Amino acid sequence: MFSEPLGSTAWFVADSMAGLIQDFDMPPVNLTYEGPTLVTNSTIDCLNKSDMGAATNNTTAFGIEDGLDDGNQFILPWWRQLIWTLLFAVMVVVATGGNVIVIWIVLAHKRMRTVTNYFLVNLSVADTMVSTLNVTFNYTYMLNSDWPFGTLYCKVSQFVAVLSICASVFTLMAISIDR
């Protein structure tokens, strides 16, 4: 029925609509999609805006204007941007500073070098990686709806996020097994 693969929800909706049209003896509707490839939000994170416009042709799979070429529709007023910037800056400084202090205390003092404290150092390293290598760059993307840091760092940033989550989860699991 469709010439391009769509999600299972789209197939279900399209087949249901076709069935309803046939049930009411209405003329058949051509449900083939021959337009440009649909780009979802999960795939545009690392693309430039010029690439998005070329990939989507400003139209979604169902012929609805998507507004991607119109720029950011959700630009915050300057005072809200300032408030969010201050909040994120405080969050990054506190998170990085606090975790670095924990790492320093455990590694600088011999009596703090226990198995449990080494696990806490591992958690602190993972949190420091997130606060320094991920949060600031993702905040810039959130604020501007544009990723100016290049495709390579986009992949590195996503890798750091997943790596730190895995490190945190496995470290907590190791702490619970150690207990």
pLDDT in tens, 1-30: 444 444 444 444 445 545 544 545 555 555
In DSSP terms, 65 is beta-bridged to 59
For 42-74, what is the HEC assignment?
CCCCCCCHHHHHHHHCCECCCCCECCHHHCCCC
Quickly list H helices, the chain.
Answer: 8-23, 49-56, 78-108, 115-130, 136-144, 150-178
Q: Name the class of domain 78-178.
A: mainly alpha
DSSP 8-state class, residue 1:
-
Least confidently predicted of 50-64, 94-108, 155-169 = 50-64
pLDDT reading at 56 higher than 70: no
Q: What is the pLDDT of residue 1?
A: 47
pLDDT reading at 99 higher than 90: yes
Q: What is the pLDDT of residue 70?
A: 55
The angle that helices 78-108 and 136-144 make with each other, rounded to 10 degrees, is 170
Where does CATH 1.20.1070.10 sit in the chain?
A: 78-178
Least confidently predicted of 14-28, 65-79, 101-115, 123-137 = 14-28
CA distance 1 to 11: 9
Residue carrying the six token digits 């390293």: 125
pLDDT reading at 118 higher than 90: yes
